[in-house]
Amino acid sequence: MEKIIEELLTTDTPWESFKENYYSAQDIRLFCFDNEINNFGMDFTSKQIDKYIVHSFSSLENTLVIDKYNFESYFRKIKVHRCFDFDSNIISYLRNYLVYKQIDPSFKKLLVYLKSSGAQISCSPYILEAGANRHDVDTEFIFESVVSFFAFDKAQSIEEFDSYSFDTIKNDSEIVKNVSRVMQAIKVDVPLLQLPQYHLIYCLLLKIYEINFKSKKSAKNKMLELLECVNKELFAYTENELYIAYLFFDKDERISSFFGGIKETSNNVISKINAMAWDLLHLRNLETQVASRNSESKDVFFHFFCSHDFGINNILNLNPIKRLAIVNNTCYPIRENNITQLEFGVQIIDSLKMYKNYRDENREKVNLKKVSEKYEKSLMEVLEK
C-alpha cells in the first residue's frame, strides 16, 4: 500500500496511475491540487470576508478527486460537504453577540456569509482547547460560549439569531442536549486525552525560540540543532512545522505575522507559545478530520478553518498541500515545500535516515509533557540572562 500511495502522490499522471493500479488503489481517495482539472467546484476556494478568513490547507482552485467512484471519468458530479471549524475568537464573538448584543459590522458580514453558504459548522477546536485548559477558563464563560454556538447553528438566518434572548434560548431542548454533550467533553473527555500532537508542536516551538534567542548561528546551523532535538529527544519528524521553523531562522518576512509577536523582552512568553501551538494543532487537525470523514464515503467532506488571525492564514499559504491520499482514516499529504529541498537537504536526509530506527524505538516511550516542562525551563533561563 505504501508504494502505491507514494506513486499516486508523486506521479505526473495520477489518473492513469490510479486506473492501472485499481485493485491496489481502490480504497484510496486522492485529492490533487496541483493540476489543471477541477471536478470539485469553485465554491470551495478560500474566502476573505472583510477581516476574517475561511481557509483550508490548499487553495482548492484546481482540485481533482480520484477514487473508486469516479476513476473512469473525472466528469462525475461530486457531492461536496463543507464544514467550517471556528477558532476560539469566533466562538467568543458569537457569545458577545448573543449575550450582550455586541456585534462588529465586519463580524456580521462573516456570519451572513456562513449562513448563506449552507455549510456545516463546528466548534471542535474550541472544545479541544477549552477542555485542555479548563482550569484557566471560567466555566460560566465556556457555557455561554457553547450555548451561543449552538444557537447560531440552530438559527435559519442572522435575523433569527439576532432575535434570540440568551436567557430563553439556553433552555431550548435541542440546545440543552447539545450543550450538555459538549460540556461533558470539555470537563471529562478531553482532559483524559494525552494530546501527543499538541505537546509535540509545543515542544518544537519552545525549542525553536530557545535556539533562536541564544544563538548567533546561521539559519542552517540553527536548523541542524533543532533536527538533533527531533532525533534525540522528540523522536518525531513533523515536516511542515520544521519547514516553518527554517523560514523563521532564515528571517523570512512571510512568517513574521505568526512568530513576530514574541521577542526576548516580551511578557507572557510561555502562554503566547502555548496559544501558537494550539493554532498549529488546529491547522493539522484539518487534515485529520478530512481523513476521518472521507474514508468509506462516496460524498466528499472538506474542513476549513475560520479565523481573523492573518498569521494563521499566512502559515496555510506558505506551504499548501499539493496532494493528499486518504485510506483507512489516515491522510498522507505531500506539500509544495519541505526541508529536504533546502540547499543542505542531503545533510538533513542523512541525519533523518541515521536516526530513523532510534526515533521509531523511542516514539511511544517519550513523555512529551515532561519534555515540554524541561524546554520551558531552558527557554526561560535563556530569556533571563
CA distance 139 to 157: 28
Q: What pLDDT does 356 receive?
A: 95
Closest by Cα among 134, 149, 132 to 89: 149
The string of pLDDT tens digits covering residues 130-144 is: 888 866 678 899 999
CA distance 237 to 227: 9
CA distance 44 to 293: 17
pTM listed for this prediction: 0.91
3-class DSSP assignment, residue 46: coil
pLDDT bracket for residue 113 (50, 70, 90): very high
Closest by Cα among 150, 143, 184, 212 to 382: 212
CA distance 247 to 267: 24
The string of pLDDT tens digits covering residues 138-187 is: 889 999 999 999 999 999 999 999 999 999 999 999 999 999 999 998 88
Residues 6+ apart with CB under 8 A from 146: 91, 123, 126, 179, 182, 183, 186
Q: Pick the more confident residue, 76 or 327.
A: 327
Please give the grid coordinates belonging to residue 181. 454533550
The string of pLDDT tens digits covering residues 77-90 is: 678 888 999 999 99
